[in-house]
């Protein structure tokens, strides 16, 4: 049994080949690896991913690459050579899923499009990820994560009330797209285990964004209503906002319903600044009607408080309150550490390194214990064990530049 | 043929995360039986947008979106006989989805340990904001709190002004949709394994962890000490001139980070004089606040008279990553969405005909199918003790 098989998990025994770059494709592969699949990332010296190289001294310790590629295998295959393509197809024959997020048309030019791969590997699940999907009048267009969010309708909804759209943070979008690709791939795996049939999966980044605002889109579909930026407002709750606290910190408070308001109002009154509140905002309609004034009252009250302490006090009253986490709060969150969300893994030199773990816990989940691979760290395993190439053949391929 | 057509799922969810998870699996062909509170149904039935601008249990666009293709049965879990019916149902299904939390599950004798013992073949997915074992100070949460516990909130928008509050993101339920997506992934994976093992298992999804893992590229570097952390609201940002700009008919987003983008912009603008004062590779090597402001000023001026779709097409032809900031109307009208049938036209007995957003993938052998949402109690006849409920209407 290989180390990989010993990890267990629901996708144990599934092999995935990744022809990916940057974040979205690698994120899809990471999710599958975290579920127990053996995920092999194809790399080569001649076309290293930007996350291996950008601003990096040692490509084997590239911070961005390490963040998104734990638990994967790395093999070097030069896809600009015919022999490299042939070798890759041999590997795909031994695999269940191929994921690619290269530029539109790139896999076809390499001879690795679905129809081409299918000739050699008829049962492969081939997952193609593109900004707009693989086909269609706009599929030639390209972009980065914030473009997905803009095109998918998300950015138009994120911003201050009455102001121009500001968008969600620039880091949002790639990973959501990757998660959608992972889900579709695993659904297809279920179909294949019943029927033996593989298939082509075409995933659109832009559509993955629209799916995250489906209810807002429904308002247009049903009523022709084009929703706008609404700050921190929520049509079903009031108050619902992010309020200033001491030392530049912020607290998020969502009063879920009238009962929650009844628990919240005394806290405001006790603070001494809102004695006139009694009875005035008891109904959702009355709070919604004067939401701006209510927000001002709350903001005046929160401003002198410590965000964490106030959040704990309000939680004690049964109110949905939390501190808005800065990066410092995020990496020091006792809850995330206690749950093992930040997990220690080992790199190829035996050094321990913390990673961002999966969002799930499972009764029989996969062991996650390895850091991202060094370039070509698993050449020997892939070429020798999986493809059964002799040492001499491996040496020849290396010398010829096919496996560099 | 559908990917999950042999799978039956029981859904106890009453929030967006669990209902969205069930919707994703129903699109793959799973039979999803939604248990709703007798008489009133799911709380999402009482949330907008409402069709024809009126409310009512069958008139919620939110419910119609989240519950597309499911079956609905009514149960009063406070009644002993209905609770017994629930336990009977659990013997017949493959998956149970819930999004209430540990206390509610205990209250209805559905604690995960006890479920695992009584139904060893059942896949049980529990979705919560902070996990089933959340601390006392994490017991109450809405999507706003989850978004802000992941770092995404504090850093939204990019380039935030310190005196304005950080934002909740787009729409009402983004964190819930995200949690539902990971839940559906995990359920699909465990179903795959269950085909050979016959064993169920507990899947626990923390929405906070879903959102935090979505920023793994930065958070992974921060936790490993490779990227600075600080109370600044800009630690997730990339800087540079990229951003949203007003156009004649809305807004456009321009991404620029590398020399080819700069060269394409120069070509698109017909080599304007102002660009000559910028050094080569300035965005990489010398990206000062002054240069960014100067660059943005000129781009703002140029785009102010342009139509967003038109200018985006011209830019894209030159390799410049400029795109329209689309609103819901743009999406329905998008030739790309129409080509891919992203919106499916369905007919609902109360809401009438409308276009519903489907999911972002097209599967060649097992196409997804987005069907109409059920009326409250529409599938009561399919219950184990169906005789008492009469024949289907």
The domain ranges of chain A are 3-212+339-399, 240-327
CATH architecture observed for domain A240-327: 2-Layer Sandwich (3.30)
What is the reported pLDDT for B386? 54
Cβ contact, residue pair A183, B188, below 8 Å: yes
Please, is B286 exposed, middle or buried when counting C-beta atoms within 10 Å of its C-beta (0-12, 13-18, 19+)?
exposed
Quote the tokens at residue A203.
């995933």
Among chain B residues, CA nearest to A150: B325
Cβ contact, residue pair B136, A316, below 8 Å: yes
Triad A150, A62, A380: Cα angle to 5°? 115
d(CA A54, CA B221): 14
CA-CA-CA-CA torsion sign (B105, A336, B174, A71): negative
Chain segment B318-374, per-residue pLDDT in tens: 999 999 999 999 999 999 999 999 999 999 999 999 999 999 999 999 999 999 999
The CA distance from B278 to the nearest CA of chain A, in Å, is 22
Are A378 and A386 contacting, i.e. CB atoms less than 8 angstroms apart?
no
The CA distance from A401 to the nearest CA of chain B, in Å, is 29
Chain B residues touching A64 at Cβ < 8 A: 217, 221
Chain segment A63-88, per-residue pLDDT in tens: 999 999 999 999 999 999 999 999 99
**B203, B216, B313: best to mutate for the A interface, most A CBs within 10 A:** B216
Please, is B17 exposed, middle or buried when counting C-beta atoms within 10 Å of its C-beta (0-12, 13-18, 19+)?
buried
Residue A349 DSSP symbol: T
Cβ contact, residue pair A363, B116, below 8 Å: yes
Closest CA to B160 of A242, A258, A301, A309: A242
Cβ contact, residue pair B336, A236, below 8 Å: no
Q: Omega into A128 within 30° of 0, i.e. cis? A: no
Q: What is the gyration radius of the CA atoms in chain B, in angstroms?
A: 25
Are A344 and B167 contacting, i.e. CB atoms less than 8 angstroms apart?
no
Among chain B residues, CA nearest to A193: B192
The size of the A-B interface in CB pairs under 8 A is 531
Please tell me the CATH code under which domain B243-332 is placed. Answer: 3.30.1540.10
Among chain A residues, CA nearest to B127: A360
Choose the closest CB to A311 out of B61, B137, B178: B137
Chain A residues touching B126 at Cβ < 8 A: none
φ, ψ for residue A359 (rounded to 5)?
-85, 0
d(CA B389, CA A143): 54
d(CA A342, CA A359): 10
pLDDT over 90 at A346, yes or no: yes
Q: Long-range contacts: B283-290, Cβ < 8 Å, 24+?
A: B283/B240, B283/B241, B283/B256, B283/B257, B283/B258, B283/B259, B284/B257, B284/B258, B284/B259, B287/B239, B287/B240
Quote the tokens at residue B183.
């839940």
Cβ contact, residue pair B167, A250, below 8 Å: no
- Is the domain A3-212+339-399 a CATH 3.40.50.300 member? no
Chain A residues touching B201 at Cβ < 8 A: 362-364
Cβ contact, residue pair A218, B152, below 8 Å: no
Q: Would you state the torsion angle of the CA atoms of residues B354, B358, B362, B364, taken in this order, to the nearest 10 degrees?
A: -60
**A183, A195, A213, A244: best to mutate for the B interface, most B CBs within 10 A:** A183
Chain A residues touching B210 at Cβ < 8 A: 359
* Residue ranges of domains in chain B: 8-213+340-389, 243-332
Triad A97, B340, A169: Cα angle to 5°? 75
pLDDT values of chain B reduced to their tens digit, one per residue, 393 residues: 899 999 999 999 999 999 999 999 999 999 999 999 999 999 999 999 999 867 788 999 999 999 999 999 999 999 999 999 999 999 999 999 999 999 999 999 999 999 999 999 999 999 999 999 999 899 999 999 999 999 999 999 999 999 999 999 999 999 999 999 999 999 999 999 999 999 999 999 999 999 999 999 999 999 999 999 999 999 999 889 999 999 999 999 999 988 999 999 999 999 999 999 999 889 988 999 999 999 999 999 999 999 999 999 999 999 999 999 999 999 999 999 999 999 999 999 999 999 999 999 999 999 999 999 999 999 998 776 654 444 443
Q: Which CATH number fits domain B8-213+340-389: 3.30.70.260, 1.10.760.10, 3.40.720.10, 3.40.50.10540?
A: 3.40.50.10540
Are A237 and A256 contacting, i.e. CB atoms less than 8 angstroms apart?
yes
Chain A residues touching B130 at Cβ < 8 A: 335
């Amino acid at each position: 049994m290989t180390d990989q098989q010993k990890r267990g998990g629901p996708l144990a025994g599934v092999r995935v080949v990744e022809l990916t770059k940057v974040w979205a494709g690698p994120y899809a592969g990471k999710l599958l690896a975290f579920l127990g699949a053996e995920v092999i990332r194809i790399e080569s010296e001649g076309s290293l991913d930007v996350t291996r190289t950008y601003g990096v001294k040692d490509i084997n310790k590239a911070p961005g690459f390490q963040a998104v590629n734990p638990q994967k295998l790395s093999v070097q295959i030069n896809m600009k050579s015919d022999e490299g393509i042939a070798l890759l197809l041999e590997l795909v024959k031994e695999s269940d899923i191929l994921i690619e997020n290269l530029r539109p048309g790139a896999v076809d030019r390499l001879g690795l499009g679905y129809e081409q791969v299918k000739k050699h590997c008829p049962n492969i699940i081939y997952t193609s990820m593109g900004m707009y999907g693989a086909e269609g009048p706009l599929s030639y267009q390209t972009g980065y994560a914030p473009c997905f969010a803009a095109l998918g309708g998300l950015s138009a909804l994120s911003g201050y009330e009455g102001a121009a759209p500001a968008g969600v943070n620039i880091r949002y979008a790639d990973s959501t797209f990757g998660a959608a690709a992972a889900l579709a791939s695993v659904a297809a795996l279920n179909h294949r285990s019943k029927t033996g049939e593989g298939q082509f999966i075409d995933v659109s980044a832009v559509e993955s964004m629209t799916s995250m605002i489906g209810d807002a889109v429904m308002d247009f579909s049903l009523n022709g209503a084009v929703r706008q930026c609404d700050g921190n407002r929520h049509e079903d709750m009031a108050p619902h906002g992010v309020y200033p606290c001491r030392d530049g910190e912020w607290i998020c408070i969502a009063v879920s319903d009238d009962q929650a308001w009844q628990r919240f109002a005394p806290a405001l009154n006790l603070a001494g600044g809102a004695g006139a509140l009694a009875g005035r905002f008891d109904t959702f309609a009355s709070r919604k009607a004067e939401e701006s004034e209510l927000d001002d009252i709350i903001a005046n009250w929160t401003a002198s408080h410590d965000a964490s302490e106030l959040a704990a006090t309000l939680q004690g009253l049964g109110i949905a309150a939390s501190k808005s986490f800065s990066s410092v709060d995020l990496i020091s969150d006792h809850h995330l550490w206690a749950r093992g969300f930040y997990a220690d893994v080992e790199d190829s030199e035996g050094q321990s390194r913390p990673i961002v773990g999966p969002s799930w816990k499972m009764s029989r989940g996969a062991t996650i214990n390895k850091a991202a691979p060094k370039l070509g760290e698993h050449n020997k395993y892939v070429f020798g064990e999986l493809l059964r190439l002799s040492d001499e053949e491996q040496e020849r391929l290396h010398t010829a530049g096919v496996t560099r | 043929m559908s990917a999950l057509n042999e799978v039956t799922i029981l859904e106890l969810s009453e929030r967006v995360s669990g209902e969205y998870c069930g919707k994703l699996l129903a699109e793959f062909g799973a039979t999803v039986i939604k248990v709703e509170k007798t008489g009133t149904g799911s709380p999402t039935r009482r949330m907008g947008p409402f069709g024809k601008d009126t409310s009512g249990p069958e008139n919620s666009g939110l419910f119609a979106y989240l519950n597309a293709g499911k079956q609905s049965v009514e149960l009063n879990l406070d009644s002993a006989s209905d609770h017994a019916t629930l336990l009977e149902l659990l013997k017949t299904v493959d998956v149970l989805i819930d999004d209430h939390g540990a206390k509610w599950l205990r209250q209805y004798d559905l604690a995960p340990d006890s479920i695992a013992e009584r139904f060893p073949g059942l896949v049980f997915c529990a979705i919560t904001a902070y996990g089933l074992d959340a601390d006392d100070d994490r017991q109450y949460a809405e999507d706003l709190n989850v978004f802000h516990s992941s770092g995404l909130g504090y850093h939204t928008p990019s380039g935030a002004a310190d005196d304005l509050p950080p934002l909740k993101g787009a729409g009402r339920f983004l964190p819930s949709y995200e949690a539902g997506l990971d839940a559906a992934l995990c359920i699909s994976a465990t179903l795959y394994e269950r085909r050979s093992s016959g064993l169920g298992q507990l899947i626990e999804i923390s929405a906070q962890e879903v959102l935090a893992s979505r920023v793994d590229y930065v958070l992974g570097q921060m936790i490993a000490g490779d990227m600075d952390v600080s109370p600044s609201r800009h630690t997730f940002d990339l800087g540079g001139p990229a951003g949203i700009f007003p156009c004649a008919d809305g807004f456009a987003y321009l991404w620029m980070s590398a020399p080819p983008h700069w060269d394409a912009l120069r070509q698109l603008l017909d080599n304007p004089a102002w660009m000559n004062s910028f050094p080569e590779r300035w965005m990489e090597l010398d990206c000062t606040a002054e240069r960014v402001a100067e660059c943005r000023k000129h781009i703002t001026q140029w785009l102010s008279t342009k139509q967003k779709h038109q200018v985006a097409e011209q830019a894209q032809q030159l390799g410049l990553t400029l795109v329209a900031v689309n609103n819901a109307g743009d999406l329905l009208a998008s030739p790309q969405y129409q080509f891919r049938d992203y919106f499916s036209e369905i007919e609902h007995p109360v809401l009438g005909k409308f276009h519903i957003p489907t999911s972002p993938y097209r599967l060649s052998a097992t196409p997804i199918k987005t069907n109409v949402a059920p009326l409250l109690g529409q599938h009561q006849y399919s219950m184990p003790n169906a005789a008492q409920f009469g024949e289907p209407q």
